[in-house]
Amino acid sequence: MPIKLLVMKRYDKQSIAQAVENYKESNQTVAEYSKRLSISKGTFYKWMKDGEKASKEKSRGFTKFQAPDIDAETRYIIQYPNGVELKVLGGAEVQTLIKLVLC
């Protein structure tokens, strides 16, 4: 009886991320794609879940605030993680700023 040799291949984080991206563009099922990579469907589902979790963690929190060069009418500029900028005029009070940030 022939002996079946199993070779386990390790993938680094960059290769895993690339594999998940390629899968999304492949129009294949998870079963087909994971078979092509010689991994289990469960492993591939874990890769996708880990990738989603990592991207959510990157998008949490506030962007670092740095006072830019601004005109005399603008007192603060707050930039949210999605790129939206909130410009607060010089006459705004702190309570107004808090309401705008916490909306």
pLDDT, position 76? 72
Three-state SS string over the chain comes to: CCCCCCCCCCCCHHHHHHHHHHHHHHCCCHHHHHHHHCCCHHHHHHHHHHHHHHHHHHCCCCCCCCCCCCCCCEEEEEECCCCCEEEEECCCCHHHHHHHHCC
Whether the predicted model's global pTM rises above the 0.75 cut: no
pLDDT 10s per residue in the chain (103 long)? 666 655 557 788 888 889 999 998 999 999 999 999 888 999 999 999 988 887 766 666 666 656 555 555 656 777 778 878 777 666 667 676 677 667 6
Residue 4: the pLDDT is 61
For the chain, the domains span: 13-58, 61-103
Q: Judge residue 34's burial from the number of C-beta atoms within 10 Å of its C-beta, 0-12 exposed, 13-18 middle, 19 or more buried.
A: buried
